[in-house]
Structure 1
Amino acid sequence: MTSRPDRRTALITGASLLAAAALPVHAQKKYGPGASDTEIKLGQTMPYSGPASAYGTIGRLQQAYFKMLNEQGGIKGRKINLISLDDGYSPPKAVEQVRRLVEQEQVLALFQTLGTPSNSAIHKYVNAKKVPHLFLATGATKWADPEHFPWTIGFNLSYQAEGIIYAKYLLKEKPNAKVAILYQNDDYGKDLLKGVKDGLGAKGAKMIVAEASYEVSDPTVDSQIVTLQGSGADTFINITTPKFAAQAVRKAYDSGWKPLHLLNNVGASVGSVLTPAGLDKSVGLLTVQYYKDPNDPQWKDDPAMLEWRAFMGRYYTDGDPKDASNLYAYIAVQTMVHVLKACGDDLSRENLMKQAASIKSLKLPLMLPGMTLNTSPKDYFLVKQAQLAKFTGTQWETFGQLLSTVD
């Protein structure tokens, strides 16, 4: 005769079943393409050649950073494999390389694909494929459109926000300025130009006395500078990438034009722009910053800066410590690592996007003091603060308050 289980046994059995049912929720691992117990495969395109090749250092640093991270055990034992391909700053080439990354390499996500033209060319494709398109190395405002492009999140301060900051500064400090503007003739240049015009408002029509554009295929912008100088402008807003930024700074100085010169952030590196242009010719330039300048002596003994320099000395010896692009690249890759860690063992593309759109008050030590990074499912603008800075001849020196761009 079989004996009935007593009450104590039944309770233990029931509790065990409940515990067993609860365990898989935490223990289950979920993987999207490119992810496994041992690897997380990411992809990016960079202009290692072509007119924006100065930015290639960003991809090289990030590969070096993941090498360091992998030597330390990776993320939860998973090694990061960043496949970084050259697109020559050419949209058709970017499309070809991104298709390779998505369809052949089967990457989990795209990370820091660089350039407004290149990202514009792949924008619809990667969203249709539902591939995370994260922390783009461009400030185009359209990267923050979760309603229409939920798989794309930019990294930089938006170009329109940057343009608005310059406009507000001029309205306050130089309201009678005669403004000349040079801009790259693509989505990047037009986006920042729109920010300037929106910020100036109705008065802008009177303040702006000349505009000139250039193509990335142009050998120089010398003729544009001569034209702008001839307008009689006393203020110059320079919306250019490094090669052309260096040319514009040098040509303006050599031609005897001495306007108040505002240089956009993406062209303001001491190492790749101001040094080639001539540091003596760059004195007095204004820009905006949202991370610490490696050339600024106030950060000489800053622990985060010392850590970054140690990294450069060990893992990226070919990189220039004076080039702010290398510090920018370091911050961007730290942000990506933060999101990957937040994913835990759910490395599906859906969860990766969820975590990227849920960044709360992230403080990275190389950002300017007081700055935090934030996103939400309805707000994809990651960087919303910046500070004006003036070039002294050796470094950028910030001044004024940390400015919010959300109001």
Structure 2
Amino acid sequence: MRLTAPPRHLTAPPHGRGPTPVLRPVLRPVLAPVLALLLALLSVLAGCGTRLPDGAFTARATPAPGAGGNPPSDTGVSATGIRIGIVTSLTSPVGSEVFSGPRYGAQAFFQALNDRGGLHGRTVEVVTCDDGGSGIGNQDCVHRLVDQAHVFALVSGSVLDYAGAPYVSGKAVPDVGGQPIGTAYDRWPHLYGIYGSAAPRDGRAVGWNGTLYQSTEVFRFFKQRLGADSAAVVAYNQADSARYAGQLKAGLEAEGYRVLLQTVDFALPNFQAVAAAVRADGSQLLFDAMDSRGNAALCRALDEAGVSVAAKVTTVQNWSESVRTDYAASPNCRNALWATSSSQNYEDEQHPAVHDFRAAMARSYPDRADRLSAWELEGWAGAQWLADALDSCGAAPTRTCVEAFLNRAEPYDAHGLILPASFVPQPPPSGPTRACLNVARWQDSAGGGRGGWVTQVPAMATDCFDVPQLPYRP
């Protein structure tokens, strides 16, 4: 199952790339309602606890100080290694592939790093834990990694319910490059999401006194690029889906779109009626607040009715090889898929860091060639962020030193893989913001006819717009 979501682009001033756009504060899409929707619709309870055996958490003996020339400078750091943890909702109610990407990307990065000799003579030992997609399972994983495995830091997490976030933050364990699926990365100190944050993150409230902001650069892009001024938004007759669709509608209307809002019954969705409505309205863009099952069925209905849109807009969660098979029954709709993100196209090997990512994935996970995704690349970027922070500490890494790197004023771009991001707190947003994004389109004619994602902008760091910021309460 795949997810779609509202715009999720966060930018900070590109470093050394010409005129500096205004730093954009936290502009986070609401993924939590979408995931709550999936849980409500599936009516499935995730298993509690980790899928990792206790023996995997047995700490290795720490060498004596000075052994190998490196001091055991902090928790999880020995003379020869650094222990890092990854928590993933691998076996969650919404399927094993939905959240797994960042974990594979991070593991491939650390394997490649170890193959090159590690960091200052230390190899990285990765300890993973599957929380099963439940809050109880997440707390269990957090305690196992922090209290039993004694990891130095967490990295590239992707979890359905980050219930263990207060404990991680309370123990001052750096959590680097996690996917902001919920709101934890906009609330707790010591948590550093992959897109950065300008919120206070003092543990008292999410964002600014419970308010977050979304911006409208996605809608602006399609307005300027395709000349679009009308869009359809499709949702289920369920509270979370409706609320999510409402955010899409608000963003579109803020950019001057005429919006057709369509609601279908979850149990018996009449997508044929939606296709007819889209045809009658002449909607140029199509957004949704549904799961992948609904998306595939909607696309089939559109193709069967001969209805075309200029773009069916999805996000980084759906930017993957799986659309090849997910939309096999609706090739016309598949070729209308556009994806947006704050990271590079994982197929664009003209970028050296993307080439390194794909080469490492091919070595570590050759069986995942048909499941590569933007989230795997972002998991790699999160691991790169932590590695660069560790490297800045020299031969004696500490959590304090790593967090000093993460909290520095200079934005970070993971060697060009993500839009520059930082964690410098700012006042609540007011007025327009300078927001950038990357955009790709699926084309069956790409990749020698095999199909693939083709980047649609010259450079994501310069594909920027001055757009409004819309407050919402998650």
Q: Same fold (TM over 0.5)?
A: yes
**Relative to 1, partners in 2 of residues 1:372 and 1:259: Cα closer, same or farther, differing over 3 Å?**
closer
- Partner Cα separation in structure 2 for residue 182 and residue 43 of structure 1: 37
- SS of match in other structure, 1:83: strand
Q: TM-score, normalised by structure 1?
A: 0.71
Matches within 5 A, 1:193-208: 194=247, 197-198=250-251, 200-201=253-254, 207-208=259-260
Matches within 5 A, 1:129-140: 129-138=171-180
- Partner Cα separation in structure 2 for residue 353 and residue 32 of structure 1: 13
User: Contact 2:412–2:420 at 8 Å: present in 1 too?
Assistant: yes
Q: CA deviation at 1:283?
A: 0.5
Render the CA deviation track for 1:257-279: whole Å, top value 9, x for unaligned: 53444433233234123433225
Q: Percent identity?
A: 18
Given residue 440 of structure 2, which amino acid in structure 1 is its aligned partner?
A
Q: CA deviation at 1:282?
A: 0.6
Q: CA deviation at 1:237?
A: 1.0
- SS of match in other structure, 1:318: helix
- Gap runs ≥5 in structure 2: 1-68, 198-211, 428-433, 445-450, 469-474
Render the CA deviation track for 1:196-220: whole Å, top value 9, x for unaligned: 624633967x625235697xxxxxx
- Partner Cα separation in structure 2 for residue 73 and residue 28 of structure 1: 14
- SS of match in other structure, 2:404: helix
- Gap runs ≥5 in structure 1: 1-26, 215-220
| Rg comparison, structure with higher value | 1
- SS of match in other structure, 1:333: helix
- SS of match in other structure, 1:347: coil
**Relative to 1, partners in 2 of residues 1:163 and 1:285: Cα closer, same or farther, differing over 3 Å?**
farther
Q: TM-score, normalised by structure 2?
A: 0.63
Q: CA deviation at 1:281?
A: 3.7
Matched, 1:385 2:446: no
**Relative to 1, partners in 2 of residues 1:293 and 1:304: Cα closer, same or farther, differing over 3 Å?**
same
Q: Larger % of helix: which?
A: 1
Given residue 324 of structure 1, which amino acid in structure 2 is its aligned partner?
S
Matched, 1:313 2:355: no
**Relative to 1, partners in 2 of residues 1:170 and 1:317: Cα closer, same or farther, differing over 3 Å?**
closer
Partner of 1:71: 115
- Partner Cα separation in structure 1 for residue 83 and residue 241 of structure 2: 29
Partner of 1:155: 194
- Partner Cα separation in structure 2 for residue 287 and residue 183 of structure 1: 22
Matched, 1:358 2:405: no
Q: CA deviation at 1:364?
A: 4.1
- Partner Cα separation in structure 1 for residue 86 and residue 466 of structure 2: 28
**Relative to 1, partners in 2 of residues 1:192 and 1:176: Cα closer, same or farther, differing over 3 Å?**
closer
Aligned residues: 360
Q: CA deviation at 1:75?
A: 1.0
Given residue 267 of structure 1, which amino acid in structure 2 is its aligned partner?
Q
Partner of 1:91: 135
- SS of match in other structure, 1:97: helix
- Partner Cα separation in structure 1 for residue 78 and residue 181 of structure 2: 32
Render the CA deviation track for 1:178-232: whole Å, top value 9, x for unaligned: 421448989999679636624633967x625235697xxxxxx872756754654
Q: CA deviation at 1:114?
A: 0.3
- Partner Cα separation in structure 2 for residue 152 and residue 308 of structure 1: 24
Matches within 5 A, 1:8-407: 31-50=73-92, 51-54=94-97, 55-115=99-159, 117-119=160-162, 121-138=163-180, 142=183, 145=186, 148-156=187-195, 164-169=216-221, 176-182=229-235, 194=247, 197-198=250-251, 200-201=253-254, 207-210=259-262, 223=269, 225=271, 228-229=274-275, 232=278, 234=283, 235-239=285-289, 249-250=299-300, 252-254=302-304, 257-278=307-328, 280-295=332-347, 299=348, 302-320=351-369, 323-325=372-374, 326-358=376-408, 360-365=410-415, 367=417, 372-378=419-425, 385-393=436-444, 394-400=451-457, 402-403=463-464
- Partner Cα separation in structure 2 for residue 43 and residue 184 of structure 1: 39
Question: 236-245 vs 79-88, which deviates more?
Answer: 236-245
User: Contact 1:239–1:264 at 8 Å: present in 2 too?
Assistant: no
**Relative to 1, partners in 2 of residues 1:34 and 1:43: Cα closer, same or farther, differing over 3 Å?**
same
What is the Cα-based RMSD across aligned positions, in Å?
Answer: 4.1
- Partner Cα separation in structure 2 for residue 35 and residue 386 of structure 1: 37
- SS of match in other structure, 2:124: strand
- Partner Cα separation in structure 1 for residue 396 and residue 435 of structure 2: 29
**Relative to 1, partners in 2 of residues 1:281 and 1:69: Cα closer, same or farther, differing over 3 Å?**
same
User: Contact 2:72–2:79 at 8 Å: present in 1 too?
Assistant: no
Question: 58-67 vs 178-187, which deviates more?
Answer: 178-187
**Relative to 1, partners in 2 of residues 1:281 and 1:175: Cα closer, same or farther, differing over 3 Å?**
closer
Q: CA deviation at 1:339?
A: 1.6
